[in-house]
Chains A and B, each alone.
Chain A
């Protein structure tokens, strides 16, 4: 059995090691596949569907689909771009994403993907405007699940990196949300230094560290400097690869 799997993404040949997903291989090759629920260091769960690609003509989530020899992957096509844009729109419209007054603005992955995918007319879907109470009980951390996109990154980080169970999914369907292992956040064993609440785990402004709001000035925030995806695409340029 060969140790290298060769397959194609949008006509470009890429290689993967056995056990790697399409996403892993694409990242290493400097090809950016947009994603929200997947983040380096955590098991992929394939829930946001932003990383939808076509594999031999059938749609699959790049973050969970294992690379296989000879597969033909479509990533940056009109059809896939449209699907991704619709999914990102759904997440925007499902929650209360008020960028002007959100501390995550400028480092929010949802917002950054909105820009990257070119959502110029944000009125396609109705706004669902949830009214879940904000949990500000904890001295250092605030939880506004109206901004949650159900990516579960905090849940996985708490479970697998912190070896705690601070967060968990509760409810079902449109009422599915992130719950905490206590009557509120203050009653859980969460600590401000936990991975689960570290900046960068929550891709949006749902988990906010108190007293740190708006710490980077506009123009110097994470995605102001490097639009989302460019970090990965930089690999390609650094390696002098062909585009």
Chain B
């Protein structure tokens, strides 16, 4: 048994050249075949790839999808996003619990099933959803959840769960999922029908790399992930940096709660993405690319691998691409392992290097020293699609769409309380109100633009526009009607940040926990005015002292909600007149003691009644 495990580990390691940089791929193989990465397995891996066990443990304990303790053969991960909560994921959890006889976070004694919660899996438009190993089940109801559990108990083949296939490529034999695209609005740039395949790449290859960069600069294309850095400038910097090798990385670690547009692009526009990556590679002089795919989208991997293989066969990848003698480029897929922070470009690079997914110190920036310390251009899935289209249609065509300062279209992932959740490709400059109209949203009270790290706005701000100068966003638009509790939403986002903080820097690691503690105090009606000042002060400290964007955006939901919904807060505040802390519960503090001492309190049990308070 022991030697079987050792053999498996040596085989997995050698499959990746015993390269410590590929340890995440190695750990995936071991996790899948052994159900966990045990202490002994870590020792064996460390010895095989010549690193230390504690370093392997550092990686295993960092990523949510790896486990040191044995997990069930089937892991059911219920998406615990706020939209799923509103759609009733708690009832779904109860059903699974009853059917499988295990609680959340538990594994059945026969090691058949594990049941857990996981942050947003990119299915907010068809919530509540869950991952059953790699298989996605969507739009769950208590009945369908029961049916799913029973079917799994009868037959552990997870692929049998897919009854009705989704539209478009979701029905492709290599994807084979019930996920729906829910494309609600096709814009001119990316989702339009009849895009001519590889036209952008061919035109790019007819120009010099510098001309390609110039074209992208002139188009005004800015990063679609949310930060909005000029894509052309990024490529120019990567191209200019002195180095023997350069890399292109596509960030498909779409982890922002409420976003799913990259899922749709990976399903329907895979060729366009790879075309954009090849253009970037040509522009900056790179021969290697990586698509960093979040673990939640592992079900897309076989399909994407097949697309890559097809491109190699057609001369669109590999050496002498499109007959261009000195241009060779290939792409590998790096699967993530469950860490939101890896959407941050330098953390994503760390993860590609087989490290804990922690952001790197900047400077140097990735364009100077990125993957393996080489200049690296990291762009969003949507950005690569835009780049390919710009090469085909020209920079002035692109610049003519949108607003003066925000060119092109933006894919929005609309979910929550509305009739038509899904993906909308809109030109920049669209008003939130217009978006609500399109989505068939009624009685909307709160709009979260940009997911957990984005902006929270109330009714009086619905005239604001989606563009870089107003509401810059990666594309998640989460809608809440007036029946939703804003504090519960803020609490959820803080829970999310505290869970996803990498823990590297103090303000984010500790501050997010403190923010949540105080928001809960407000929710319970134990807070007073001083607590609001505390929240604002703490929020500002975290924002300006954190090391990366996660920490600096985590307090936004608190600060925005206080500014936008002051009455909600003030209605929860209570001034304590007697100076006692309402959050301290003496009865609860005495429970254990009563049980152990087998007697009642002389002071706090009314039976004795002498000095009860």
Name A residues whose Cβ lies closer than 8 Å to a Cβ of B: 45-50, 52, 59, 61, 64-66, 82-83, 86-87, 90-91, 93-94, 124-126, 128, 149-150, 165-176, 179-183
| B552 to A, closest residue via Cβ | A59
Bound together, the chains give a CA A167 to CA B538 distance in angstroms of 32
Tell me the bound Cα distance from A87 to B534 in angstroms. Answer: 14
Q: Which residues of B does A touch, CB under 8 Å?
A: 39, 51-55, 57-58, 61-62, 339, 356, 361, 363, 498-507, 509-514, 517, 534, 537-538, 541, 544-547
Beyond the given A176-B509, A180-B54, could you list 20 further A-B residue pairs with CB under 8 A, ordered by the A residue number?
A: A47-B504, A47-B505, A48-B505, A48-B506, A49-B506, A82-B541, A86-B537, A87-B507, A93-B510, A126-B514, A126-B517, A149-B506, A150-B509, A166-B54, A167-B54, A169-B503, A171-B61, A173-B500, A174-B509, A175-B503
Known A90-B511, A170-B61, A172-B61: A61·B503 in contact at CB below 8 Å: no
* Nearest Cβ on chain A to B552's Cβ, whole angstroms: 9
Contact assessment for B499 and A49 in the assembled complex, using a CB-CB cutoff below 8 Å: no
Q: Which B residue's beta carbon lies closest to that of A151? A: B506
A243, B57: Cα distance in complex, Å: 49
Q: Assuming the A-B contacts A87-B506, A173-B500, are A46 and B547 also in contact, with contact meaning beta carbons closer than 8 angstroms in the complex?
A: yes
* A174 contact from B39, B57, B498, Cβ within 8 A: B498
The answer, among A87, A171, A172, for a CB contact under 8 Å with B545, is: A87
Asked, given contacts A83-B544, A179-B58, A181-B54, whether A172 binds B506 with beta carbons under 8 Å apart, the answer is no
From A94, A124, A183, give the contact of B39 (CB < 8 A). A183
A-B contact pairs, 6 of them (CB 8 A): A47-B505, A49-B545, A52-B544, A126-B514, A179-B58, A181-B52
Write the chain A residue with the least CB distance to B497. A173
Complex interface: chain A residues within 8 A of B39 (CB) = 183
Are the C-beta atoms of A172 and B502 separated by less than 8 Å? yes
Complex contact B505–A49 (CB within 8 A): yes
Given contacts A86-B538, A90-B507, contact A49 B546 (CB under 8 A): yes
B517 touches A47 (CB 8 A): no
Q: B546 — nearest CB in chain A belongs to which residue? A: A49
CA distance A86 to B39 in the complex (A): 38
Contact (Cβ within 8 A) A87 B62: no
**Does the CB pair A83–B356 fall under 8 Å?**
no
Q: Is the CB of A170 within 8 A of B545?
A: no
Asked if A83 and B500 sit within 8 Å, CB to CB, the answer is no
Given contacts A66-B363, A173-B500, A173-B503, contact A47 B510 (CB under 8 A): no
Given the known interface contacts A125-B514, A165-B54, the answer about A47 and B547 at a Cβ–Cβ threshold of 8 Å is yes
B242 to chain A, nearest CB (A): 15
Of A46, A165, A175, the residue contacting B52 (CB under 8 A) is A165
Q: A49 to B552, alpha carbons, bound, how many Å?
A: 13
Q: Please determine whether B510 and A174 come into contact, CB atoms closer than 8 angstroms.
A: yes
**A87 (CB) vs chain B CBs: closest residue:** B506
Are A173 and B499 within 8 A (Cβ)? yes
- Assuming the contacts A66-B363, A165-B54, A179-B58, asked whether A174 and B501 have C-beta atoms less than 8 A apart, the reply is yes
Which A residues lie within 8 Å of B57 (CB)? 168, 170, 179
Give the docked Cα–Cα distance between A150 and B503 (Å). 9
Closest to A177 in B: B503
> Chain B nearest CB: distance from A16 CB in Å?
15
Whether B361 contacts A170 by the Cβ 8 Å rule is: no
Contact status of A47 and B506, CB under 8 A, knowing A61-B547, A90-B514: yes
Query: CA of A171 to CA of B57 in the docked complex: distance in angstroms?
Result: 8
Q: Which residues of B contact A168 (CB under 8 A)?
A: 52, 54-55, 57-58
Closest 4 CB pairs of A and B: A176-B503, A165-B52, A168-B54, A181-B54
The residue that A46 contacts in the complex, of B62, B361, B502, B512, with Cβ under 8 A, is B361
Q: Note all chain A residues with C-beta closer than 8 A to B547.
A: 46-47, 49, 61
Least distance between A173 CB and chain B CB atoms (Å): 4
Taking a contact as CB atoms under 8 Å apart, the answer to whether A171 and B506 are in contact is: no
- Report how far A94 CA is from B507 CA in the complex, Å: 11
Complex-state Cα separation, A47 to B512, whole angstroms: 16
Which B residues are in CB contact (< 8 Å) with A66? 363
* Contact among A49, A173, A183 for B507, CB-based, below 8 A: A49
Contact A83 B503 (CB under 8 A): no
